């Protein structure tokens, strides 16, 4: 036997407010998971194309984001698009090269992992 429990709205509207808050939290969580996956993919692209350790990939993306004032997930999307044949915008390309060079000077090269 299946029972059906009908959701009832409290007189003060707290049920509606709770549902709205939960839906907003759910949407934020979905966005965070999607952004994380994009960043992880971009780290893989950097490891393959720029020959940096994957552990340094996040720092490179973070630095590019900070120096170009572009959100991290947008930088990651741009790096992925470049791997698929799209040109990198000039400021991102320059900062990406600079960030990779900084990692190399710190001894974080494929031959000498972090």
Structural contact between residues 83 and 61, judged by C-beta atoms closer than 8 angstroms = no
For 79-96, what is the mean pLDDT?
95
Per-residue model confidence (pLDDT) at position 112? 41
Per-residue model confidence (pLDDT) at position 14? 66
For 62-80, what is the mean pLDDT?
96
CB within 8 A of 63, min separation 6: which ones? 95, 98, 99, 102
Structural contact between residues 70 and 35, judged by C-beta atoms closer than 8 angstroms = no
Quick: pLDDT tens for 3-27.
Answer: 545 555 555 556 788 888 878 877 7
Instruction: Decide if pLDDT at 93 tops 50.
Output: yes
* Assessment of whether the complete model's pTM goes beyond 0.85: no
pLDDT grade, residue 111 (50/70/90)?
very low
Lowest mean pLDDT among 58-62, 86-90, 106-110: 106-110
For 61-69, what is the mean pLDDT?
96
């Amino acid at each position: 036997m299946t029972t059906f429990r009908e959701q009832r709205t409290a007189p003060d509207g707290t049920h509606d407010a709770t549902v709205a808050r939960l839906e907003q939290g759910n949407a934020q969580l979905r966005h965070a998971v999607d952004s994380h996956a994009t960043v992880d993919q971009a780290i893989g692209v950097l490891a393959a194309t720029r020959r940096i350790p994957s552990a340094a990939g996040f720092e490179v993306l973070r630095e590019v984001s900070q120096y170009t004032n572009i959100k991290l997930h947008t930088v990651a999307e741009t790096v992925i698009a470049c791997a698929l044949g799209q040109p990198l915008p000039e400021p991102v390309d320059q900062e990406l090269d600079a960030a990779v060079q900084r990692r190399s000077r710190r001894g974080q090269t494929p031959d000498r992992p972090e």
